[in-house]
Amino acid sequence: MRIAEARVERRLLRYHSPITTAHGTIADRWMVLLTLVDEDGNIGQGEAAPLAGFTPDTVEIAESALRRWAADQAGDGDPPASVTARAAVDSALLDLAARIAATSVHRLLAPESPDRLAVSALATGASVEAIAASAAAAVAAGHGTVKIKVGTHGMNGDLDRVSAVRSRIGPDVRLRLDANGAWGVPEALRHLDRLAEFDIEFLEEPVAGIENLAAVRNSSPVPIAVDESAPTVEDISRAVETGAADLVVLKPSAIGGPSEAARAAAIVRDAGMNVVVTSLLEGSVGIRAAAHLASAIGAVDPAPGLATASLLAVDVATPFLPVNGELLLG
């Protein structure tokens, strides 16, 4: 593969309504789009989408890393030091390789992998009623798994939200929660005792830090997932070894790309644990790359958290939206 052109462009993502997590509220954000063109005109794209609380780099760092990579090494040099820039390069090279091979990325990586993925929907809303309505709409649209953020409204506010969502979606839809490290260990255990009655699939990041997660997981009535407390393959290995979680959330855009995510998934599975592939709330180029990776490694259950293009009013590409709760990969 000879790369004839590498374009680096900063682009804006804007959400339909602001997304609030324990790390803060975002209404819009900048990302960097990498477009590679080979000598025959084949195109491959990747996205660098830094997000405070989830990646160590900023959009400025990612952009300058990609510009250096594009100028100096286009295709055969060392990957950039910035983790989100690495994700963009890895995704763009895979995308380009698939185009050249006249196949899709997931088939290039694993020929028998599924071409559709049932995905979890993130329900959002500023009030209890709004979030319950968002969850109900996701189920009506065909999703069998719904996720909501907790940890930003106090224990009673969280219980109100979880209870309202559970009663609106019924007993058969899976419900997962994400506290983004909002609680301390004793508080998390008190919350979990109350939340357990709502049949929670798993709770991501009740507390921040691998040791704290291990302490919670030891006594939790609900399965615990580690996410941003284990941002690298090394951290994930340590989380697995210390029993910090029941399962590991993998964000290809935050860990350095699909290839690094696959390496992490192998470590997690070797330890007998499961992975969930999710987005970084990035644009549809990054979401698509994550979906192809999820298919290629067979990370289909629990459902990947990749329905997030629907949250975007301004996207970087044609929105990669689920159809009847499934992403169609082609």
Interface positions with Mg ion (CB under 5 A): 178, 204, 227
Q: Which is nearer to Mg ion, 201 or 227 (CB)?
A: 227
> Does the active-site annotation cover 251?
yes
**Of residues 256, 320, 280, the one with CA closest to residue 94:** 256
Q: Which is nearer to Mg ion, 227 or 260 (CB)?
A: 227
Query: In the complex, which residue's CB is closest to Mg ion?
Result: 227
Compute the distance between CA of residue 227 and CA of residue 208 in angstroms, rounded to an integer. 9
| Smallest separation, CB 77 to Mg ion (Å) | 33
Q: Which is nearer to Mg ion, 69 or 202 (CB)?
A: 202
Q: Which is nearer to Mg ion, 105 or 230 (CB)?
A: 230
**In terms of C-beta distances under 8 Å and separation of at least 24 residues, what long-range contacts does 166-172 make, across chains too?**
166/198, 166/199, 167/132, 168/132, 168/133, 168/135, 168/136, 168/139, 169/135, 169/136, 169/139, 170/139, 171/199, 172/144
Compute the distance between CA of residue 55 and CA of residue 62 in angstroms, rounded to an integer. 11
78, with CB counted inside 10 A (0-12, 13-18, 19+), is: exposed
159, 129 in Cβ contact below 8 A? no
Compute the distance between CA of residue 276 and CA of residue 101 in angstroms, rounded to an integer. 28
Q: Which is nearer to Mg ion, 79 or 231 (CB)?
A: 231
Name the region of 104 (left: φ>0; alpha: ψ -120 to 50; beta: rest). Answer: beta
Question: Which among 99, 143, 147, 149 is annotated as catalytic?
Answer: 149
Question: Which among 161, 251, 288, 292 is annotated as catalytic?
Answer: 251
| Smallest separation, CB 279 to Mg ion (Å) | 10
| Smallest separation, CB 225 to Mg ion (Å) | 7
| Smallest separation, CB 205 to Mg ion (Å) | 6
| Smallest separation, CB 178 to Mg ion (Å) | 4
> Does the active-site annotation cover 149?
yes
The dihedrals phi and psi of 324, each to the nearest 5 degrees, come to: 50, 40
Q: What are the residue numbers of the active site?
A: 149, 251
